Amino acid sequence: MKRSESGSAGSTLVTVVLLVVAVGALAFGFWAYSGRQDYKNNADQKTAAAVAAAEAAQKTQLQAQFNQQLKSPYKTFVGSITYGSITFQYPNAWSSYVDTTNSSEPINGYYNPGDVPGTGSGSAFALRVELTGNGYNSVIQNFNSQVQSGTVTATAYVPPKMKSVANVQPGTLLTGAVSNSNGSPLNGAMLVIPVRDKTLQIYTLSNDYLSDFNNIVLASLTFVP
């Protein structure tokens, strides 16, 4: 009788232990499954976010490449031999309006992507070109106050393609508030340089076009001194 009770108690203990182990295993399995599901959900979200970011970056890159392709092949402006055969390139996507009918200002050009705004609109043109009879020194003096105040920086400059040409006089590259429209300063860059007995002012009125101005326009600028 005693032995039977002992065996029964042992069986009960074993059953309890097995139940505890089973419950523990089920709990661990549920926890592991929940963890895997949470990881899967988070991983899916992270993967989706990474894919979206990659697609956005690719779209931006492709758009930049497309915009760059629109600029080429470059258009070329060729000025009159009488006034030094001024020549430069500019992006293919830019339109132009150039007045060459005024002998005191043989070149007065406006360039902009798409349509060219009205000349009195005060727009920040991508490119302006002026060849005038004003003396080089007098043009530079117009910017003395801006240079002294620090709103304009002045640097001696010779266009890359003109550095090996004889009799070329260095010009001045002005950067900063190079022009005013309706009293508001327009930031950009302007090259002022002597061309024979006249002065060439070639400039951009917006920092948005500085790269094109430096790498396309100024990089290709030539003239006969």
pLDDT tens for residues 90-123?
A: 999 999 999 999 999 999 999 999 999 988 887 8
Tokens of 88: 């430069």
The SS3 assignment for 137 reads helix
Q: What is the pLDDT of residue 118?
A: 87
CB 116 within 8 A of CB 95: yes
Q: What is the pLDDT of residue 14?
A: 54
CB 199 within 8 A of CB 141: no
Q: What is the pLDDT of residue 93?
A: 95
Backbone angles phi, psi at 100, to 5 degrees: -120, 25
Tokens of 60: 């931006």
Cα dihedral across residues 83, 85, 89, 94: positive or negative:
positive
Q: What is the pLDDT of residue 125?
A: 94
Tokens of 2: 């005693």
Q: What is the pLDDT of residue 56?
A: 64
Low-confidence ranges of the chain (pLDDT < 50): 1-3, 62, 65-66
CB 222 within 8 A of CB 162: yes
